Structure 1
Amino acid sequence: MNVDLIFRIAAIGIIVAVLNQLLVRSGREEQAMMVTLAGLITVLLMMVYEINTLFTTVKTVFGL
């Protein structure tokens, strides 16, 4: 796993948190929830890609 991935996830978390606070304070709770869900889905998709890479590497190493 690359350290760059950790920094990307942290950056997404910070951006989502700031946008969430701005939207909640302006009275747009629905949009704040959508931003939070979009950030969560983005990070989950990044993790699925990394897990796929891990499984591919394991299959290659063990010749499966």
Structure 2
Amino acid sequence: MDVDLIFKIAAIGILVAVLNQLLIRSGREEQGLMVVLAGLVIVLMMLVQKISDLFELVKTLFHF
């Protein structure tokens, strides 16, 4: 697994956490929740792409 992927996920997590805290402290809890959900969707899309690449590699490896 690429170390870059881990760093990207960590960077997104830190950015989302900071934005969430800023929005919560300014009284915008709903927008903070939306930022967290958007970050989660972005990370899940990245992971789904890597899992898809893994399945394609397994398919080519076993000639399916």
TM-score range relative to shorter protein: over 0.9
Q: Give unmatched runs, 5+ long, in structure 2.
A: none
Tell me the TM-score normalized by structure 2.
0.99
Tell me the TM-score normalized by structure 1. 0.99
Looking at structure 2, the residues matched to 50 and 6 of structure 1 have their Cα atoms a distance apart, in angstroms, of 12
- What's the secondary structure of 2:54's corresponding residue? helix
2:48, 2:57 → 1: CA distance? 14
Long gaps (5+) in structure 1: none
Q: Which runs of 4+ in 1 moved over 2 A?
A: none
Name the % identity.
Answer: 69
| Greater relative contact order (CA < 8 Å, ≥ 6 in sequence) | 1
